[in-house]
Structure 1
Amino acid sequence: MPPQPRPKGKGLPSGALSRRRNGSASAKASGAAKRKRPMYIVGMGGSAGALEAFEQFFTHMPADSGLAFVLVPHLDPTHKGMMPELLGRCTSMNVVQVEDGMPVRPDQIHIIPPNKDMTILNGVLHIQEPNSPRGHRAPIDLFLRHLAEDQEDRSIAVIMSGMGTDGTLGVKAVKEHLGLALVQDARSAKYDSMPKSALGTGLVDYVAPAQDLPQKLMGYVRHSTKIPPDVAVYERTVTSSLLRIFTLLRTHTGHDFSFYKKNTLYRRIERRMNVHQISNIGRYVRFLQENPHELDLLFKELLIGVTNFFRDPEAFKALKEDALPAVLKNKGKHSTFRAWIPGCSTGEEAYSVAI
């Protein structure tokens, strides 16, 4: 069956060139020179049934969006990687299989090689041999965690059809770093385990069939570029609106956020505003008043735990060299020592103290 023409979508007005997969080297070099750094890097994961979902997604994805796509599907390690050729039939973006040390480029689809793990550092992809046997690996989680740490709020996670739970921890990591999470509607997926598991986090921003996710994604990207960075958090109107949001949250959930760091809170509130394409915080307050379900989603957004082992090195150094020796100095050989850890999130802080 001949490839179907890709519907024309409006990309961002950034002057990027749409590049045919078999286009000239000069055209590709010109496009890369105009925009070497992608606005966002989209990490996409899937397993069984994901190829069809990827084809539906990229058939409807503008080729000049300024975004970069990195695909981490579960591939059969014994088969030659055919996905670049297959996806090249449904998009005019350049589609490549990743090689170690390859920089991520805008308007390009980067696909992990079979039987490999992949990470990213400073926008450069690194290939490595799997550390775990097949069946126990989570290459999607691995990549998305590195993507979140490397790109922070410029990271986007997309989870497609598949069996198992790979990608769920990656979604959490992306959300911890103020990134965006999209999931294929489980009802449209051939295999719904991965989408349902990701949805179970309660942190997903958009849910839609694969062919509708590009529209959701581009709406978010277009809106986010209209808002200048570091919006005046301290302006009187913004402060007033924040206080109204705190009041709504306290009434709805019983939690008082008024003593939290204002900048951190505003960045997470701004993310929810971007998801709904609301530019004015006053309008977002009205949206919260009219949509109590959004209060639940905002509450989860504000409580996302940002944590890792030995997160504050100076604090653990002081604990090791000063606090613990002083506390243990006069303890008897058979006495009991207990440590209470506030705000242990998913346990990393408690385990770090124990270690």
Structure 2
Amino acid sequence: MDENPSEHYKYYWHAKTEKGGRIIKCSMGLSFLYMPFFLMAHGYAIIFDYNTNGFSSPYRFFLLMSSLFYYAIGLIYLRKFLKNYFKDKIIAFTLLSIALGTNIIFYTAVRSCMSHAYTFSLFALFLYFSYKWHKNPSIKSTIIIGLLAGLISLVRPTNLLIIIVFALWNVQSFTDFTHRIVWFVKKYPLIILMIISFLLVWIPQLLYWKTISGDWFFYSYQDEGFFFTSPAIIKGLFGFRNGWLLYTPIMIFALVGLFFLRKKLSIFRVPIIGFTILNIYIILSWWCWWYNGYGNRAFIESYSVLSIPLAAFYTRISQKRWLSVLIAGIVLILISLNIFQTYQRKKGIMSSDSMTK
């Protein structure tokens, strides 16, 4: 890449405005996350006399490190969150299942600069601070949640669905729902502060759109969109063309675990089931429901949320030794399969979007 600077324009995924200008297609959430590592790479490139065009080897190395860094942060904070509800052994097995048994490993080690490892981390942080906020709604946690929600949506706008988990936290009935609305109204100063924090993150994006296109809002995906009346649910979940559960079958345990959100975990039943249903529907309503890559990558960020029912599933089966041994064996097989298929995808043995069997 260093030797062909004229080719760099290909790496800017842009759309054209009505005035003929070029506007970067993706919103700038990842840019904020890249920035500390870009600056370190830039300083390194200057000091050691590398090309400072943003594409030389120091930039590539530091961006790879950024993916690993945020992924590690995600696992750390997900563990801190899960410790409030599960035993250490269950948490360890849950994190192992996600880290090695799902397609997140591909998007951390191979396609590392795509958004998924980053948003997985943001979701984990959002869960952790949502827990803290509902336990003790402070100004600090309010600002953090607003900033996180803004950044999550700025990386991928549809991921704003995570707000469902926050808004319906501990809602188990219609009466709880009405009480929650009243409670939010009483906490309106904090809610306003949260909204302001959210909007602050979006200001640079709005200014960019306004500067380039002349409009405060610009739909950069243009002819691409959703088909909400005909979502590809079956093909998107089980099809050979990157079907989520076909290539990441370990998450079937998480979906089964939705039925085990009982007792102290019942506070998550409504928000997580609601989030999961809407998430599946929206993801698989996109025109490119197979999401070119390995497995259906659009589900990766939700693994933070689904870690709760996954841990609930492991907790339930741990009550019977023979069943826990059986499931542990199946999990190890699925982890091995995932690592093998990750290798196949990396080597091009598996197609990124055209598998038929």
Q: TM-score with structure 2 length normalisation? A: 0.23
Greater CA radius of gyration, 1 or 2?
A: 1
Higher relative contact order (CA 8 A, sep 6+): 2
1 or 2, which has the higher helix percentage? 2
Q: TM-score with structure 1 length normalisation? A: 0.23
